[in-house]
Amino acid sequence: MIQVSEGKAMKTTDFRGELTPNGQIAVPPEIPSQVPPRETVQVVLQWGVSVDDAAWRAAGRRRFETAYAADDSVYELLIHDTSTR
């Protein structure tokens, strides 16, 4: 999770899919349940990604996420606590 200036936490998810001939992208059923109703989302399309690129990206993401410990969330609370200023 990354903090942005508006005080909202940015969240991401990714999935593999295909663009149909009529321009539709099927979203896996577990994705909509992760996004609040009427929330604006940003969509980025990638194609031509090799299996090696995907594995490299997944390894990098795992390494990045392991650097964040659950105990670090106390700092996020302090960011928004006006009594400490």
pTM: 0.44
What confidence tens digit (pLDDT) does each residue in 19-71 have? 889 999 988 988 888 888 999 899 888 888 776 777 888 888 888 877 776 67
Count of domains in the chain?
1
The shares of helix, strand and coil residues in the chain, as percent rounded to the nearest 5, are 40, 5, 55
- In this prediction, residue 24 carries a pLDDT of 93
Full domain range(s) for residue 40: 2-84
